Amino acid sequence: MDEDASRSSLTDEEDYVDDNDNDNGEDYEATIEEEELLDDDGDYADELKGWNFFAFLLSFTCITFCITSDLEDEGEMTIEELQRKYGYNPPGNAEETADDGNSAGDSSSAAHEHSILDLGNSQSGYEDDDDDYAPPDPWKRTIRVDPVLFQADVPDIGKSQATDAREDDVVLWVSDNTNPPSDEVLNSYLKDIVELRKTHDQSVPPAGCESRDDEDALCALYRNNFDTEKAKESFPFPHINAPFRTVRPDALGFSEEESKIFEESLQMYGKDFALIGKMRMPYRKVGELIEYYYQWKLTPSYRVWREAHPQHVPVVQPHLSAAWHQQAADNGPFTEPSTSEGPSTLSN
């Protein structure tokens, strides 16, 4: 791999966001602070608040709709804007309010946004009710109490010992407790394994980190009672912590052709890997696409793709993809994307 090119900081430019409400199809792995450095003197604190507010809204749109009108008072964004942005449709009846009945978030508990830490008097939130009207704190929640609905059943000590028979975990490495192999022994063993791998055309760590812990080699050593010679004889080693649930053991690497399809699909569907799988690569498991995605991000082709799609917005918006999944499941591959239509299967 072209190490210089890929090293030159994947993160400081790729995840540039020009404002906080458009998802251009990127995984934001840079920090907000770093993004701010790109603008001079951006208002860091405000930006963060925007994000928090955004996260909060996302979290609560479902169960707090009945009170969200209050948000208009405090947010710079209107509900209509937010709904448009996040594709949210109000549920007709808020079933959840029943569960949430004792919530402090309801409008009766007058609250003081800026005095929440003024808690010397633990009742202050309630006693200051006679102040001028302050909008209620729609963000506040309380812990709900109902042993059936909300609390865990706490087991008695010593009881139900029989029920804790879980299937055993797979042991991958436990050092010899009585006579642990020294770092020198391990390092030289791991070095030998690197050589073995080379002679068998297996991938090896780059120069300089030959002695990194090799899970498969250490497992072989453990299973051969820390006898390095016997362990080496057992080579080639099985891949002991392979992601066998998400990646088929015999899954091949991506061919050039597949990589091309993958990149096209990203442009089309964004990172809805399940949809990509269904539409374009049905012979792949979703996990294989995700694993490939994170490897692909380290390659020069990713940089090329980014440059070709600087402000990429997938044709299928994330909130619509649920509908698309349904459509795909119902009709097989679809014909015409209709992104303008309000979704969704989520709300009614």
Partner 1 sequence: MNSNGPLQEHGKRRVAYYYDSNIGNYYYGQGHVMKPHRIRMTHHLVLNYGLYRSMEIFRPFPATFEDMTRFHSEEYMLFLKSANPDNLKSFNKQMLKFNVGEDCPLFDGLYEFCQLSSGGSLAAATKLNKQKVDIAINWMGGLHHAKKSEASGFCYTNDIVLGILELLKYHKRVLYVDIDVHHGDGVEEAFYTTDRVMTVSFHKYGDFFPGTGDLKDIGAGKGKLYSVNVPLRDGITDSSYQSIFKPIMTKVMERFDPSAVVLQCGADSLNGDRLGPFNLTLKGHGECARFFRSYNVPLMMVGGGGYTPRNVARCWTYETSIAVDREVANELPYNDYFEYFGPNYRLHIEQSNANNENNPELLTKLQADVIANLEKLTFVPSVQMRPIEDDALRSMNDGSALADMADPDRRLPSEVTDQMIQDEGDFYDGEREGDDRRNESDGKRAAQMDSEGAK
The answer to whether the beta carbons of residues 254 and 242 sit under 8 Å apart is no
Q: Whole-number minimum distance, CB 346 to partner 1, in Å?
A: 5
Task: Show contacts with partner 1 in window 285-344 (CB under 8 A).
Answer: 286-288, 290-291, 293-294, 298, 314, 318, 321-322, 325-326, 328-329
Task: Answer yes or no whether residue 150 interacts with partner 1 by CB under 8 A.
Answer: yes
Within 8 A by CB and 6+ apart from 183, the residues are none
Out of 211, 259, 267, 301, the only residue in the binding site for partner 1 (CB under 8 A) is 211
Q: Return the range that interacts with partner 1 (CB under 8 A); candidates 24-32, 192-200, 254-262, 334-342.
A: 24-32
Q: Which is nearer to partner 1, 7 or 198 (CB)?
A: 7
C-alpha pair distances (Å), 291 with each of 187, 217, 227, 257, 297: 29, 23, 34, 17, 10
Task: Show contacts with partner 1 in window 107-146 (CB under 8 A).
Answer: 113, 116-117, 119-120, 122-123, 125, 137, 139-145
Out of 152, 199, 200, 335, the only residue in the binding site for partner 1 (CB under 8 A) is 152
**Residue located via tokens 């006679």:** 130
Closest C-alpha to 90, from 54, 63, 55 = 63
Out of 107, 151, 338, 339, the only residue in the binding site for partner 1 (CB under 8 A) is 151
Angle at Cα 18 formed by Cα 14 and Cα 21, nearest 5°?
110
User: Rounded to 10 degrees, what is the CA torsion of 125, 126, 130, 131?
Assistant: 10
**In one letter, which amino acid is 78?**
T
Task: Show contacts with partner 1 in window 158-197 (CB under 8 A).
Answer: 158-162, 164, 166-175, 183, 186
# residues near partner 1 by CB under 8 A: 128
The 74-103 contact track toward partner 1, x by CB under 8 A, reads: ------------x-x--x---xx--x----
Out of 19, 213, 250, 307, the only residue in the binding site for partner 1 (CB under 8 A) is 213
Q: Whole-number minimum distance, CB 191 to partner 1, in Å?
A: 13
- Exposed / middle / buried, residue 265 (Cβ in 10 Å: 0-12, 13-18, 19+): buried
Distance (Å, rounded) from C-alpha 155 to C-alpha 163? 11
Tokens of 44: 């860091």
Q: Whole-number minimum distance, CB 213 to partner 1, in Å?
A: 4
